[in-house]
């Protein structure tokens, strides 16, 4: 024989397989955590955009508008950082109009729907 005890080789193989499994579990948990953070940031961004849109349509005070614009700006930055960590968050112009916010809301809703459809297709493929 090769001088190795057969039980030792099996233990080494088992230890390597267990380590690989543990790495997979850790990676899976990290991906789930990132996905949840992205979903939470996306909801926060969409809610802030909706509040800002409603406030702009109701001709509210400038102070309230500034607070909601800042909340929206921060939500967009967080979402961008989570979805594309290799790029800087886009600068949002202080003179941003309601139409721009409406466009961004529509685009984010479309991307959310597309992502939901992709997730559903992936779930069906893995099932």
- Residue-wise pLDDT tens digits, 66-103: 888 899 999 999 999 888 877 664 555 544 444 455 55
In a domain, 121, yes or no: no
User: Average pLDDT, stretch 5-24?
Assistant: 83
User: Average pLDDT, stretch 49-65?
Assistant: 82
Task: Report the pLDDT value the prediction gives residue 126, as an integer from 0 to 100.
Answer: 54
In a domain, 57, yes or no: yes
In a domain, 126, yes or no: no
Q: How many domains does the chain have?
A: 1
**What percentage of residues in the chain have a pLDDT greater than 70?**
61
Distance of CA 78 to the CA centre of its chain: 9
In a domain, 52, yes or no: yes
In a domain, 91, yes or no: yes
In a domain, 112, yes or no: yes
Would the pLDDT of 107 be above 60?
no
**What sign does the dihedral 106-112-116-118 (CA atoms) show?**
positive
Would the pLDDT of 36 be above 90?
yes
Task: Report the pLDDT value the prediction gives residue 1, as an integer from 0 to 100.
Answer: 46
The whole-model pTM stands at: 0.54
In a domain, 6, yes or no: no
Which tokens is 102 given?
Answer: 């409406």
Domain containing residue 103: 11-116
Number of Cβ within a 10 Å radius of residue 74 = 15
In a domain, 3, yes or no: no
């Amino acid at each position: 024989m090769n001088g190795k005890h057969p039980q030792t080789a099996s233990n080494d193989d088992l230890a390597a397989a267990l380590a690989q499994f543990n790495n997979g579990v850790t990676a899976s948990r990290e991906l789930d955590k990132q996905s949840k953070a992205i979903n939470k940031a996306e909801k926060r961004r969409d809610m802030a955009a909706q509040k800002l849109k409603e406030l702009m349509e109701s001709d509210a005070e400038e102070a309230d508008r500034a607070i909601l614009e800042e909340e929206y700006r921060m939500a967009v930055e967080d979402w961008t950082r989570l979805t594309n960590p290799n790029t800087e968050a886009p600068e949002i112009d202080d003179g941003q109009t309601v139409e721009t916010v409406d466009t961004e809301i529509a685009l984010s809703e479309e991307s959310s729907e597309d992502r939901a459809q992709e997730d559903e297709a992936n779930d069906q493929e893995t099932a």
